A and B are shown apart, each in its own frame.
Chain A
Amino acid sequence: MTFDYAPAPESRAIVDIPASHGLFVDGRFRPAADEAVFKTVSPASEEVLSEVANAGAEDVDAAVRSARKAYESWSALPGSERAKYLFRIARLVQERARELAVLESLDNGKPIRESRDADLPLVAAHFFYYAGWADKLEHAGFGPAPRPLGVAGGVIPWNFPLLMLAWKVAPALATGNTMVLKPAETTPLTALAFARICQQAGLPPGVLNILTGDGATGAALVAHPGIDKVAFTGSTEVGKAIARTVAGTHKRLTLELGGKAAHIVFEDAALDQAVEGIVQGIFFNQGHVCCAGSRLLVQESVADEVLAALKARMSTLRVGDPLDKNTDVGAINSAEQLARIRELTEAGEAEGAERWAPECELPSTGYWFRPTLFTGVTQAHRIAREEIFGPVLSVLTFRTPQEAVEKANNTPYGLSAGIWTEKGSRSLWMANRLRAGVIWSNTFNKFDATSPFGGYQESGYGREGGRHGLGVYLDV
């Protein structure tokens, strides 16, 4: 007899998914002007979850007009009143956290353990944190009377659908802006559930409008002359296109884009925790994380030891049903993303890197990819340079701290980096030299509402979270 964990699925019954969803404009749900719709599927089963309105240019225009109209009164409200709306939202998110977590796992494919223990608590924390800022902005270090920018347009990705919504909506609204938000095409459902929460919170119509749609909807929103601010999280390629779109306008821009983070393990590291950190760094959320520690730089003297431990640990990862409470790695979000991961991993093999993945059975339907690592990777390989955005780790070695820094910084990205060493001075020396916006030292993939997040170079600009996250929504 062995200790095989019996299936432990979280109940789906807690969430009632309507068969169709409208756009959330001016405080109510309505179909797209041209009545266009698209389907959203569960990536774990390819089952159609719901039909969602596809917003076109006319809908974008209506939403921006609604937000503009709402801006007059919203920005004029005392900060203490805006705060109370956001506190209400935070509480409602907490009340419905389990339901939202299940919905997120269904629509996104991420394990319920993560949506329940990471995404949702962070969403609530973000609203609590920025709610508290709304009536203290004059003390935030942005001058005595900071002003909101106007109407903000938010375009968010599919990897942390509700959390990315929170990262945009909470600071935008706290600072007195109104917003039009476009969730990702493959993960619209929690944003629409959030719209319902806004209704329950009594948020004035137009303060937040949510437009579901595809890339064209996002492009129309970003280009709309009626918005004053664009906040985008997504790929570097799209980020650059947006930067070109807003060039020469008055629109402010923040971008949270891709990354290819170095995760550096020194020979004196706390190895058991480092191995956990590596696993957390690349397999959290199936590696669909812009700050994922996708490039493991391990000191050559401990490379064999670390790799052996890592492989043993990877063999215990439980891949499968996102709603099973014991699942560690869920489904890849879409067929398109799965194809990209396959393409890059095949390139890795073709370029001579050695591929390894633990034995594990994958479900027969849905989009799946085994946790994978590549050894024998060099800086020249595509899998060491391009963002894979999947559960794939490239392993490189280094000999000296200086070499680790040089290799780590040898990328156009600069979002995050990790360092494992028990030597404090070395850790700080490394942290000083790594060109990245978030440095995790003896930990990885930690997030907090109070902690600024954002990148250097082609990982984007602006910060989300913390006091810094206010500045990008204020006219300073």
Chain B
Amino acid sequence: MSRRARLWVLAVGGLGLAVLLFAASLELPGFGGDWHPYGVRAVEAALARHTSNVVAAVNFDQRAFDTLGEESILFCAALGTVVLLRQTSDEHRVRPEPARVAPPVRRYALVALPVTLLIGLYIVAHGQLSPGGGFQGGVVVATALHLLYIAVDYRALERIRPIGLYAMADAAGEAAYLLLGAAGLIAGTAYLANVLPYGTFNTLASGGTVPLLNAAVGVEVASGVVVLLASFLDQAVEIVDADDPDSSGRNSDQDNSGRPRAPDNSDQPPAPDTSGRTPTPHNPPEEKPT
């Protein structure tokens, strides 16, 4: 189909959909209305189970089985990304050069790292009390670890990031969620039922299984995000295919799209013999041409 015909089909379809959406939105309950039957019941159920963050109660208690599916999607997506971005036989790894970091950047990132890590763990632990939980806190924890890449360099990040260990932690988080669900079966009720004592309202040990499920999700999300980012960062920094005859062209493509090699083209005087076949995967300012 030509580009023009495609745009016409798109215009007709989009117009039709716009009309349908407009008609449908007129039939929806008015914005800001008072009629929220499910919301009212969810709040009642959460308060009855001593969980002050109702969103966490919905996610990890009332609709915990749905969250199991969500967590499995996350797990499968991480698995799929690792498989898709694995090193193939025609590629090899180049050890990243140590890079020099501006002192203020290094200082700030090294100060921010433990603070961010602590905030992430706090958000995971307080998911049943205040906005947050395993998903949000897990992402914060994973981000905190990557501050080391900004503060030092890729080698330092690799030292605190043994991928195998994080992949296992990812699987362990998923398994912990499944097993916590099975606790309901052992106690004689339904799968993923909230079987633990509900505790005192508005304390850290409230909500029954909600904090435990939050912790399992936190472990899975944190390690899953670390593994995901590692796959992408390895592609950008370490994995090259120098034996491939068209690799030089591809490397120059990467330079144009803002990949790490761009700075040494602009900041340094053009060094002879470094273009073309020599892949420079990282941005080492004092890099020697090989």
A binds B: no
Residues of chain B touching chain A, judged by Cβ–Cβ distance below 8 Å, are none
Residues of A within 8 A of B (CB): none
